[in-house]
């Protein structure tokens, strides 16, 4: 049986008809067309589906869409402002923190949550907090460098 819910995503309210067992990832991608959030493992193991809920990073493949009702959801599509890339995105582009890019939206959203909580983290802290985001291409060095650079360019402010 379908259920009508309202989700707040990137500041917009979307009313959608969903099945109660649909994940937030499925609804974002298949119902709202927000395909920036990636489906990797669909099992909670890779971090490709990371989005922010009330400022914290969550794996959208492990969350039912109904459980996201009433939360402020932010996806990669909501990070840039007025057509300008977010400083985290700029750092990834400039430092080559990505190759195929499949993991990148999840990594960038996790980085946003990290830097909001800890504006000037140590490299060790970033590595630890980023441990749930897997990348098959980069070897992580450039990813960590990009997050550290973003921290610097944001001057401790998000």
Regarding 115 and contact with ligand FES (CB under 6 A), the answer is no
Look-up of token digits 């669909």:
42
Q: Which is nearer to ligand FES, 79 or 103 (CB)?
A: 103
- The least CB distance from residue 48 to ligand FES, in Å, is 5
d(CA 109, CA 86): 11
Which of 10, 35, 99, 158 contacts ligand FES by CB under 6 A? Answer: 99
145 lines the binding site for ligand FES (CB under 6 A)? no
Q: Where are the alpha helices (DSSP H) in the chain?
A: 24-26, 87-95, 104-117, 123-129, 141-153
Q: What contacts 32, CB < 8 A, 6 or more positions away?
A: 7, 9, 14, 16
Among 24, 26, 47, 68, binds ligand FES (CB under 6 A): 47
Q: State which residue, 6 or 45, has the beta carbon closest to ligand FES.
A: 45
Q: Coil, helix or strand for 5?
A: strand
Selected from 102, 118, 125, 154, the binder of ligand FES by CB under 6 A is: 102
Contact yes or no for 59/98 (Cβ under 8 A) = no
Number of residues that bind ligand FES (CB under 6 A): 23
Coil, helix or strand at residue 62: coil
Instruction: Report the nearest approach of ligand FES to the CB of residue 98 (Å).
Output: 5
Q: Which residues bind ligand FES (CB under 6 A)?
A: 39-42, 44-49, 59, 61, 98-104, 135-138
């Amino acid at each position: 049986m379908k259920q009508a819910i309202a989700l707040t995503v990137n500041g917009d309210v979307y009313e959608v008809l969903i099945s109660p067992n649909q994940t937030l990832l499925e609804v974002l991608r298949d119902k709202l067309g927000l395909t920036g959030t990636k489906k990797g493992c669909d099992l909670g193991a890779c971090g490709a589906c990371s989005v922010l809920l009330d400022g914290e990073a969550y794996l959208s493949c492990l969350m039912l869409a109904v459980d996201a009702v009433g939360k402020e959801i932010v996806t990669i599509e909501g990070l840039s402002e007025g057509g300008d890339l977010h400083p985290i995105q700029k750092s990834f582009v400039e430092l080559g923190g990505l190759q195929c890019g499949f993991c990148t939206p999840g990594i960038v959203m996790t980085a946003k949550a990290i830097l909001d909580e800890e504006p000037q983290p140590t490299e060790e802290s970033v590595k630890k907090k980023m441990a749930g985001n897997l990348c098959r291409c980069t070897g992580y060095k450039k990813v960590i460098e990009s997050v550290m650079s973003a921290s610097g360019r944001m001057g401790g402010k998000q």
